[in-house]
A and B are shown apart, each in its own frame.
With several copies, the nearest count.
Chain A
Amino acid sequence: MVQVTYLDAIRQALLEEMDRDPAVLLLGEDIGVYGGAFKATAGLLERFGWERVIDTPISETAIVGAAIGMSYLGLRPVAEMQFIDFIACAFNQITNFVAKSHYRWGAPVPIVIRGPAGGGVHGSAFHSANPEMYFVHTPGLKVVYPATAYDAKGLLKSAIRDNNPVLFFEHKFLYRRIKEELPEDDYTVPIGQAIVRRPGRDLSIVTYAAMVHASLEAAEQLAREGIEAEVVDLRTLLPLDRQTVIESVRRTSKLLVVHEDTRTGGIAGEIAALVTESAFEDLDGPIRRVTSLDTPVPFSPPLEEHFLPNAARIAEAARDLARY
């Protein structure tokens, strides 16, 4: 069987969903003739034509706005942000129009907004963002951020079929760096379910996206030192799978949260609150965080490396915590 990259898994999900349902169509900058800045939509214009693969002007608010309107007539638009950083330009439309539509007047907005996020590719301050927390803090949205090709495909399909607006973050560092065999059949991965990527008894590392891989790397290193870290991949950030997180902490009594997002106000806080609320008695040590620095993403390689979390830093924090 062929190995499918994270990027190609996304393309497959789009293609298969468009094949399944003509209500699914795509909007975004340079997604048609060019096939997208990262080629996530390559070949889809050829296959589905101009009406279903719509190259737009540089207008993120209009892209999201038009997707909303389309969804009101029963369509299932998938909007691409060329880089997820540009989602900031549609922030009002997303947090005020999209997120509140169903609550206010009962109009569901089954759209997907997807795009490449994350650092590690020297993209600098405007092409490396992890803006997920802005949306995790917005009731009415769902937020998904897969770490594997399997999940990317399965979650994107779920997102398209979901009756709620889903923000689908893709980690661009993973696009071509990871691959795996995927099932031939149509499959989905449910939104809202975390997964234990590696069982362990000494501490829980809760993380998502590219940091899953750094955490697994750290866990291997720790295992060689006799520390068994459990690695939980959140996969969905909103709604958060509280149960899987809390069960893991109940097992290990120690919690390290790792995210590539900046520290203050990152999801580690929310998880710390959840755990101290619901599993305080199970905790056997402080909750630790390994995150990016509280700065914009710097450009030059030594700076960006210093900015980002990595396996070594995760292992170090885990070691500390295990010893606590």
Chain B
Amino acid sequence: MKSDPARQELTHEEALELYYYMRLNRSLDELLVRLFRQNKIVGGLYGSLGQEATSVGTAYALAKGDWIAPLIRNVGSLLVHGYKPRDIMTQYMARVTSPTQGKDGTCHFGDLKTHHVVSPISMLGDLIPVMAGVAMAGRYLGQKIVAMTWIGDGGTSTGAFHEGMNFAAVQRAPLVVVLENNQWAYSTPVNRQAPLRDFADRARAYGIASYTVDGNDLVAVLRIAREGVERARQGHGPVLIEAKNMRMLGHAQHDPAEYVPREMFDYWKARDPLTRYEKYLDRHKLWDEKEKAAIHARIESELAADLEFAENSPFPPAELAEQGVYCNGCHNIEAQWRRAKEELMPPKSAVTPEWTIKDFGGMETKPAVAADRSEQQHSVIEGAVVHPPQTDRKRKITAPGSRRARR
């Protein structure tokens, strides 16, 4: 037993905590669907059924102080990061007790001071450059933080995604982008989004490292996310992690998803991430029935309490609509310096404004393999495909002088 690698990878405590979040994510989702059917939810309800392992596993890889910007399906990431079910319930129910006081709904909320969560906006892709900025600011302030955000397969087609990834890459910002390839963007299948087998290949346009991981395998997701987070934190630049999973419901509750072939749901149902993780815990004897039951009981009571809180919460007063367009005397975000400011002030900050151009861009020049990248030996990682950053790949020389080709 001692040598079971699974037990080394996860502590007993972590294994149970992960299960708590996985189960909580699932149960909260189910509860929200019930509330939706009872007409207690305002607007649409966007589910995360089938995608829990990706949300939970990636966020779990982060350290205290790291920043996240989840999308609306990343309920699991919010829970791991410290938000409570009541926060999500009150948002969906448009109550004044919600993190946005009813100003916005769904998982459109955040908090700069305690949770370090940046709220998404609906326009897909826009978070990527914003989180690149968060990552750059963290580095600038001398904090050793990582910024993590999520994007759908569909969202990778946006210009904002491209601009943000590229800027992060050239800045080597400590940014981890989780590309949740759940096979669909609303009714659009992934092969109508781009002719790619692995959306991790999007990373190749930016010369950054990327991974493709089985998004329904919580442990594999966590493993890859930890590696990616570490890589980013160490200053090796941004990382793109493609997690393949499946959106097991329609785009939102109004959508019966009739465009999805039934067998496709069957295929993925057989790979349900929660069941798989339960089996994993069983197989590796990481828990017992009592522990499992305790977690279930805990979740049940927490959800019941939070639901009561939400249902008893009032709607916001109408006049609140008029407030808060501008921040007047409210700004209290202090930069947290973890380095000497003098480094950034003259005369210490003085530099010579000169570009160094190692080669001149010709065809003859040798590939410039970044020293700090070359030691990275990406080979077999369980449950994942690893793509090294572009500059690591060697060009095959097949002709003398300036004439060469690569197949």
Contacts and interface: CB of A to CB of B under 8 A. Distances in A.
Interface of A: 19, 22-23, 25, 29-30, 32-35, 37, 45-52, 54-75, 77, 82-83, 85-86, 88-89, 92-93, 96-97, 100-108, 110, 121-127, 139-140, 142, 163-164, 293-296, 298-307
Q: Which 6 A-B pairs have the closest CB atoms?
A: A69-B133, A65-B129, A74-B335, A300-B102, A66-B133, A34-B187
30 contacts: A46-B351, A48-B345, A49-B344, A49-B350, A52-B349, A57-B154, A57-B166, A57-B170, A58-B124, A58-B188, A64-B129, A66-B164, A69-B130, A69-B131, A70-B136, A73-B112, A75-B140, A86-B123, A103-B325, A105-B109, A106-B330, A124-B108, A125-B104, A125-B121, A127-B122, A299-B102, A299-B103, A300-B316, A303-B318, A307-B321
A68 to B, nearest CB: 5
Contacts of A96: 121-123, 126
A23 B333 CA distance: 12
Interface of B: 42-43, 94-96, 99-100, 102-106, 108-112, 118-119, 121-126, 128-138, 140-141, 147, 154-155, 157-160, 163-164, 166-167, 170-171, 185-188, 192-194, 259, 315-322, 324-331, 333-336, 341, 344-346, 349-355
A127 B346 CA distance: 34
A33 B260 CA distance: 10
A96 B325 CA distance: 13
Given A300-B94, A300-B103, A303-B321, A73 B137 contact: yes
B158 A48 contact: no
* Chain B interface SS verdict (over half): loop
B110 A302 contact: no
B68 to A, nearest CB: 12
Contacts of B354: 33
Given A69-B135, A74-B334, A305 B166 contact: no
B110 A58 contact: no
Contacts of B158: 58-59, 89
Given A89-B123, A102-B324, A302-B315, A62 B344 contact: no
A93 B335 contact: no
Given A52-B349, A107-B112, A61 B129 contact: yes
Contacts of B325: 102-103, 139-140, 294-296
Contacts of A127: 122
Contact of A32 (B167, B193, B345, B353): B353
A192 B130 CA distance: 28
A97 B103 contact: no
B126 A97 contact: yes
B161 to A, nearest CB: 9
Contact of B137 (A75, A301, A307): A75
B192 A298 contact: no
Contact of A293 (B96, B112, B124, B322): B322
Contact of B157 (A25, A58, A66): A58
B310 to A, nearest CB: 13
Given A57-B157, A58-B155, A306-B318, A46 B353 contact: yes
Contacts of B318: 302-303, 305-306
A217 B123 CA distance: 35
Nearest to B166: A57
B138 A73 contact: yes
A107 B113 CA distance: 10
B259 A33 contact: yes
A45 B124 contact: no
A93 B163 CA distance: 12
Contact of B167 (A37, A62, A123): A62
B107 to A, nearest CB: 11
A262 to B, nearest CB: 10
